[in-house]
């Protein structure tokens, strides 16, 4: 009796341990990938954000004055950090997964005794790790230009994790569908960049006419930027709980889609 009970338990522990090892291996591989070329993956965002701080925050900000009760430099800091997080998490996973497809080593993951969710979390975890590091770097850079305030650390961390997970998953889906290296740059260029610049990074949407405020509320990045801004400054153009709810909902939808696509082998199996 004891043997029949213990055998399934041993099998469950073995499977859990195998999944953990697989997840850790994929995640370490993804982290090693972008850390090995840190000059290309971690330094450019710091330089780009420094230019934004100098041009928009220091030069233009002096003419604008205050926004939302804060100096213009303080106001744009959360948005600039969020912009770098969105870009880095998306590009990291989309390029990594497509490279695995292009080199045909992703097929090894498909035939390995590894659940689909482990593959997804491994790639997404790499994108989140890069986004977290870049978020810290850009925050440190911003401290040279302005005193960074922290209104609600919990909201900052949760929004950062949910946003980076969301766009890392979106990058994975892009990598699944992409058929060439050009395809992985289409969405960032023609979708993410316009939505980000129109997402309230450099301005409050309350300054817009009523019609354009309503239009802006259809932009999901508005909620991410404002949720993040609330964590730093305590002000937001939208309810921060609504922002978190939308982030959770989008994550569930995209995770489910990524799972379905990988399970079916879309874009991978001929």
Q: What percent of the chain has pLDDT over 70?
A: 94
Bigger pLDDT: 84 or 267? 84
CA 126 to chain centre: 10
Q: Is residue 35 predicted with pLDDT exceeding 80? A: yes
Average pLDDT over residues 189-194: 88
Handedness of CA 168, 243, 251, 186 (dihedral sign): negative
Q: Quick one: pLDDT band at residue 8, thresholds 50, 70, 90?
A: low
pLDDT at 63 over 80: no
Whole-prediction pTM: 0.89
Segment 168-173 shows an average pLDDT of 95
Task: Name all contacts of 237-246 with Cβ < 8 Å and 24+ positions apart.
Answer: 237/200, 237/204, 237/205, 237/206, 240/155, 243/159, 244/155, 244/158, 244/159, 244/162, 246/220
pLDDT of residue 16: 80
* Structure confidence at residue 4 (pLDDT): 47
Parallel, antiparallel or unpaired: strands 70-71 and 66-67 = antiparallel
pLDDT of 72 higher than 60: yes
pLDDT digit string, tens, across residues 200-254:
888 888 888 888 889 888 999 999 999 999 999 999 999 999 999 999 999 999 9
Enumerate the β-bridge partners of residue 71.
66
User: How high is the pLDDT of residue 153?
Assistant: 92
245 and 251 Cβ atoms separated by less than 8 Å: no
In residues, how long is the chain? Answer: 270
Question: Is the CB of residue 81 less than 8 Å from the CB of residue 141?
Answer: no
Task: Tell me what percent of the residues of the chain surpass a pLDDT of 90.
Answer: 48
Query: Tens digits of per-residue pLDDT, 112-164?
Result: 788 889 999 999 999 999 999 999 999 999 888 888 888 999 999 999 999 99
Contact indicator for 171, 257 with CB cutoff of 8 Å: no
Report the distance separating Cα 174 and Cα 185, nearest Å: 9
* Averaged pLDDT for residues 46-75: 81
**More confident: 94 or 68:** 94
Question: Residue 104's pLDDT is what?
Answer: 80
In eight-state DSSP terms, residue 39 is H
Give 204 or 3, the one with higher predicted confidence.
204
CA 221, CA 217: separation in Å to the nearest integer?
9
Measured CA to CA in angstroms, residue 169 lies from 64, 68, 90 at distances of 37, 33, 8
Q: Count of alpha carbons within 13 Å of 131, Cβ hemisphere only?
A: 33
Query: Which pLDDT score is estimated for 132?
Result: 94
Confidence grade of residue 3 (pLDDT, cut at 50, 70, 90)? very low
CA distances from 175 to 64, 107, 235, 268 (A): 41, 14, 36, 10
Best CA proximity match to 172, nearest among 122, 208, 235: 122
- C-alpha 120/C-alpha 138 separation (Å) is 27
Q: What is the reported pLDDT for 52? A: 85
């Amino acid at each position: 009796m004891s043997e029949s009970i213990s055998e399934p338990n041993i099998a469950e522990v073995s499977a859990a341990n195998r999944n953990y090892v697989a997840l850790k291996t994929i995640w370490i591989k993804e982290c090693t990938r972008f850390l090995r070329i840190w000059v290309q993956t971690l330094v450019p965002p710091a330089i780009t954000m420094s230019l934004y701080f100098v041009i928009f925050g220091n030069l233009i900000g002096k003419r604008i004055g205050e926004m939302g009760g804060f100096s213009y430099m303080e106001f744009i800091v959360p948005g600039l950090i969020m912009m770098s997080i969105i870009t880095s998490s998306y590009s990291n996973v989309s390029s990594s997964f497509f490279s695995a497809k292009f080199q045909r080593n992703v097929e090894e993951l498909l035939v390995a005794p590894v659940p689909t969710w482990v593959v997804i979390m491994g790639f997404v975890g790499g994108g989140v790790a890069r986004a977290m590091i870049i978020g810290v770097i850009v925050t440190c850079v911003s401290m040279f230009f302005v005193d960074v305030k922290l209104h609600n650390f919990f909201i900052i961390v949760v929004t950062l994790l949910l946003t980076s997970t969301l766009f890392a998953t979106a990058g994975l889906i892009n990598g699944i569908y992409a058929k060439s290296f050009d395809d992985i740059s289409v969405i960032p260029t023609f979708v993410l960049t316009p939505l980000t610049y129109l997402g309230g990074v450099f301005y409050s949407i309350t300054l817009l006419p009523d019609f354009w405020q309503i239009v802006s509320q259809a932009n999901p990045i508005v909620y991410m930027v404002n949720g993040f801004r609330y964590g730093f400054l305590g002000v937001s153009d939208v309810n921060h709980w609504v922002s978190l709810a939308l982030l959770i909902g989008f994550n569930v939808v995209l995770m489910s889609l990524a799972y379905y696509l990988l399970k079916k082998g879309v874009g991978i199996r001929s």
